[in-house]
Amino acid sequence: MTTTDWLEKARGVGRLEARGEFRLDAERAKEKMARFQLVDPHRYVLELVKAAHLLEASVIEFVIDADEMEVFFDGQTLDFEEVSDFYSAAFSARTDDRQRAVRHLAIAVNAAQALGPREIVLESIAARGGCRLVLGRGVEPVPVRLGPEITPGLVKISSALAVGTRVYLRQRMQTRHIMQFFDKLKGRLNETLALEERARYATIPIVVNGVDITRGSGLSDKALAVVEIATSHERGRLGIAVDGNMQIKVLQHGVFIDTQVFTADVVGVEAIVDSCRLTTNLSQSAFVQDEAWQMLHGGVVQEAMWRSLELYVANLSLLEIFGEGQLWLRQLVLRAHARTDRVADHGFFTRVAMTPIYQQADKSMPLIAIAAATQRIGQNTRIHICRRPSKEAEALAGAPVILSDLHEPTALFLRFADEVVDLTERIEVHRQALNNKAKWASSSRDAAPPRNWSPHQMALDHGELRVVVGLNGSGAHSTVIFVKEGGPLKSGHLSEQSSRGLSFIFSGKLAANELFDGPAHCAELSVLGLALLDALPRFVNEHLQYMKKSYALDYLRALLNGRLLRCLGSDFHIEAIVFAAWQLALRSASQPSLWNRDDATAAETIELLGPAADVALFPDLRGVDHSLRQIHEHIADNRCILVPESGDLRAWRSMSEQNTQTLYIQPRVSLSILENVFGKPTIAALQSVMPSKSSVTINGQVVTGGNGQFRGEPQVPQPSPKPVASPKPAATPKPVETRMSDEERLRAHIEPLLNATVIRFKSGPAPAIAATDGQVITLFAEHPVVAHALARPDDRFAAHMVAVAARGALRPYLKDIAWGAAHRAQISDILNPSNERRNT
């Protein structure tokens, strides 16, 4: 419990006086005060020192003997009412200095009574008179008024002062006084020790037995840049302790209470502060860490610390800064910067800006101050820094450059300028550019590949730039080379590494980038790169026959899946915004191209590939290679089967030998190419034709398929067996109904699923399962999935598969049509009969 809390609780049982203040009667107050004990009763002398400070004494005199103690101090005196109601006044709600002085006198008398004194005399005499109160054992204290002619009845003190306050204590003779007599000779009486230990930092002289015990400011000789602390509540001093923590000695009314030690987050300090705003505990031995305590440490002491730092930096000499002093000071600035959000006074940083504590980027002397390295650009200021030593930094910046450590953030220098330019990366770029330029100047390169290496070439020109494309039949990695004034500026492999045998050499008046390791982005180079993209597929497709089969397949795969285009844009150094605009124009064009085939049919893709579509790259089971155009013709004639990758191939080879008009392909490597040309639904349909039974002849023996005899053998789809009509009794003849054709019956099932009102079937080659002009949906009758459904027009599941495949093919054209609900209803209708049978 704090002193304030205890006093408030004690006042609660008092009476209300006429002047509006609660007071306790003498007996009740004495009982309450009896519970108010110090840690050591001999420390009552410290409470007398506090009272003297509050009454503005100029000197305090103590005479302490083995059985007597007398103290006298000048300053304000107490009136008769304050002395006569001594104990009750201690519980007053008043908070002025006189009331606090009475409270400390009451605490002192109460603590001294624990020592069993014979009597305690309290006198307070002013020029107009005074009063005396004698407290003895078993005797009721009676205050006595003293006239103006009366002087203090000093017993031990021979003072010339006639006005002041005197407290005299006389103890009963006890055996321990004999030992205390010898303690006094050695200066070891408890009261004397308490005063020397706790009152030595008082701001007014304290004389004990004729000796002044005060010891000045209380700061050690190591404290630097000492500043005064003076507020309405505090008095004290503070100095910097370079290698220490924050050590704060806190006093109350001239008496040392406690030493607070904290880890220094900016710099170590020594401080001694006498504060009257703090609250002590009941034993008067420690402070309560309340809001006032926080204000002292976080406000008053911190403000003094920043003033001390500013003074310290201002008084530094160049000799003190150089060497270890420079490093310590820079670390100090860094720690101070970390506290900037909690610091109101920036005078320290203003002083730092004018102090030379940084090296220049070239590590030359003398040291440089931040203010000397600050440039004014119009209304703004700029500072250049560099994280590594550099002799080129100042020439690049055109101003002094500070050599900064890696752990010094840019935000630190922004405290001193509007803009901070870090030259570290720029200098590295400058150095690399010089090295790259030296390598470029020492080598040479032709602007076209050698004819004996790349016999097939194409050249394109735009302004003063040229690009030559060469193609050879080797499996060498494709390269992209930029030649500037006869020297290779940049050389590297094509990032799409599966495309082999191509060489791209750009030349002409190329501008180098900042690192001098490649061309700078410019409009002319972007336009030339786009022209090359337009012409490249036609050039390669015309010469694809000269490439090895595996490399030709790799090229087609990268071309058709779009991976090649994604790589060429960056390899040719086409500006990103120009490349994006070009791609957007491709999507908006009415005619498809090899770079944009989203809406192209298989026939259109074949035509776009040109000669490449006639190169035989895809072997069948008999080992004969076929081109994409030939495969397309077989698919259109419903004479192409894609053989599964697993299973017994003997049956497939036998079927291939017996059905020479049908193309049997096992597309292990070329599957993605076929899917990109003919579409995944078509390829899936060519892989999904699986009859239930078949037979083939192998080595003169007939092998029956189905039921797992051999896996995945292709068969011509067989119509579902028609149900046998059950005999019915003769009935009255009904009107003859017109029989619907197979196409009409299948159309009736498909139209609700495709949300279409007009569906027609078309015979002939089937480039896809379906096509549309926006109004009519055309289903190709010879497509395997459609042919299978036409063979069983009443099979609702077969109709459903046609709708699913057609929906996938038509999705780019009919994006706004919602097919989900119709398909869910169809699936439910298909599954309901089987569910009913299962439940039955």
Q: Which residue has the tokens 């390899």?
A: 571
Sign of CA dihedral 560, 561, 564, 565: positive
Taking phi over 0 as left and psi of -120 to 50 as alpha, with beta for the rest, 610 belongs to left
Secondary structure class of 481 (helix, strand, coil):
strand
Series of mean pLDDT values for 10-residue runs along the chain (840 residues): 53 44 56 68 92 93 90 91 76 76 89 88 89 83 83 71 86 53 59 91 92 85 90 91 86 90 88 87 72 84 89 81 76 85 68 89 88 91 93 89 91 91 91 93 91 91 93 86 94 87 93 92 91 92 89 91 90 90 84 85 92 92 90 90 79 85 84 90 75 42 40 38 39 48 85 76 84 81 86 82 81 60 57 49
The pLDDT value recorded for residue 705 is 42
Six token digits for residue 193: 């020790």
Sign of CA dihedral 502, 508, 511, 517: positive
The pLDDT value recorded for residue 283 is 67
The answer to whether the beta carbons of residues 465 and 510 sit under 8 Å apart is yes
Thinking of the domain 3-212, which architecture would CATH place it in? 2-Layer Sandwich (3.30)
Six token digits for residue 233: 């509540």
The length of the chain, given as a count of residues: 840
The pLDDT value recorded for residue 732 is 43
Q: Please list, in sequence order, all residues whose beta carbon lies within 8 angstroms of the beta carbon of residue 753, skipping any fewer than 6 positions away.
A: 799, 800, 803, 807, 819, 822, 823, 826
Report the C-alpha gap between 61 and 166 in whole angstroms. 10
Cα 146 to Cα 22, 125, 129, 131, 159: the distances in Å are 28, 8, 6, 5, 19
User: 779, 768, 760, 787: which is closest to 691 by C-alpha?
Assistant: 787
Name the residue type at position 27: E
Secondary structure class of 54 (helix, strand, coil):
helix
Six token digits for residue 510: 């190329």
Q: Which residue has the tokens 């009794």?
A: 729
CA dihedral 6, 9, 14, 15 (to 10 degrees): 120
CA dihedral 4, 5, 9, 15 (to 10 degrees): 30
DSSP state of 810: H
DSSP state of 341: G
Q: Please list, in sequence order, all residues whose beta carbon lies within 8 angstroms of the beta carbon of residue 250, skipping any fewer than 6 positions away.
A: 256, 257, 258, 259, 260, 273, 274, 275, 278, 287, 296
Six token digits for residue 44: 């009552």
The answer to whether the beta carbons of residues 645 and 668 sit under 8 Å apart is yes
Report CA 95 to chain centroid distance, whole Å.
52
Name the residue type at position 769: I
Cα 607 to Cα 92, 268, 552, 555: the distances in Å are 109, 84, 18, 17
Report the C-alpha gap between 396 and 410 in whole angstroms. 19
Report CA 357 to chain centroid distance, whole Å.
33
Cα 635 to Cα 89, 201, 749: the distances in Å are 116, 108, 26
The answer to whether the beta carbons of residues 328 and 337 sit under 8 Å apart is no
Strands 663-665 and 640-642: parallel
Q: Please list, in sequence order, all residues whose beta carbon lies within 8 angstroms of the beta carbon of residue 392, skipping any fewer than 6 positions away.
A: 427, 430, 431
Report the C-alpha gap between 403 and 394 in whole angstroms. 11
The answer to whether the beta carbons of residues 571 and 737 sit under 8 Å apart is no
Report the C-alpha gap between 667 and 657 in whole angstroms. 18
Name the residue type at position 114: A
Return the beta strands (E) in 365-429 as ranges. Answer: 374-377, 380-386, 401-403, 419-422
Secondary structure class of 276 (helix, strand, coil):
coil
Inter-axis angle of helices 796-810 and 742-754, nearest 10: 50
Residue 3: Cβ-neighbour burial (10 angstroms; 0-12, 13-18, 19+): middle
Strands 206-208 and 770-772: unpaired
Cα 811 to Cα 481, 498, 547, 719, 817: the distances in Å are 42, 32, 37, 30, 9
What single string gives the DSSP state of each residue in 594-633? Answer: TTB-TT--HHHHHHHHGGGGGS--EEBTTS-EE-HHHHHH
CB atoms within 10 A of CB 728: 6
User: 266, 276, 278, 280: which is closest to 312 by C-alpha?
Assistant: 266
Cα 472 to Cα 460, 476, 500, 617: the distances in Å are 18, 9, 9, 18
What are the sequence ranges of the domains in the chain? 3-212, 443-588, 602-704, 742-839
Q: Please list, in sequence order, all residues whose beta carbon lies within 8 angstroms of the beta carbon of residue 798, skipping any fewer than 6 positions away.
A: 788, 789, 792
The answer to whether the beta carbons of residues 770 and 778 sit under 8 Å apart is yes
Six token digits for residue 253: 């009314």
Backbone angles phi, psi at 255, to 5 degrees: -110, 125
The pLDDT value recorded for residue 289 is 75
CATH topology of domain 742-839: Four Helix Bundle (Hemerythrin (Met), subunit A) (1.20.120)
The full 3-state SS of 770-789, as one line of letters, equals: EEECCCCEEEECCCHHHHHH
DSSP state of 118: E
Secondary structure class of 206 (helix, strand, coil):
strand
Q: Which residue has the tokens 């860490």?
A: 289
